[in-house]
Amino acid sequence: MAFIDPANETHNDQSDAIGGAAREQLKAFVARIERLEEDKANVMADMKEVYAEAKSSGYDTKILRKVIALRKIDRHERQETEALLELYLGAVES
């Protein structure tokens, strides 16, 4: 007499609920996401190397990161933010 694992039987029931085409599409999505995660890890490693190179050249990487973040913001929005920052700092430093 064969032993039937209820957990495995549930898994098979759920697996059967997903049709062949949907199963293949799901596998393709998972594979693409996994490749992108690998690419992201490689890019992050490359960025770490560039920051290390900048640091060894005497640049402050904290400030460099801030410059990069600020460049992503629209110039007008950045100027408004800087003006508010100055206003708030002036209010609490007085």
- Are 69 and 53 in the same domain? no
Q: Are residues 6 and 37 in the same domain?
A: yes
> Using alpha carbons only, what angle is made at residue 20 by residues 29 and 32, rounded to the nearest 5 degrees?
10
Residues 48 and 79 occupy one common structural domain: no
21-75 pLDDT, tens digit per residue, is: 999 999 999 999 999 999 999 999 999 999 999 999 999 999 999 999 999 999 9
- What distance in Å separates the CA atoms of residue 44 and residue 38, rounded to the nearest whole number? 10
Q: Is the pLDDT of residue 93 over 70?
A: yes
How far apart CA 91 and CA 85 sit, in angstroms, is 10
User: How many domains in the chain?
Assistant: 2
- For residue 12, pLDDT over 80 is answered with no
**Both 66 and 53 in a single domain?**
no
How many CA atoms lie within 13 Å of 90's alpha carbon, on the beta-carbon side?
6
The pLDDT assigned to 94 comes to: 78
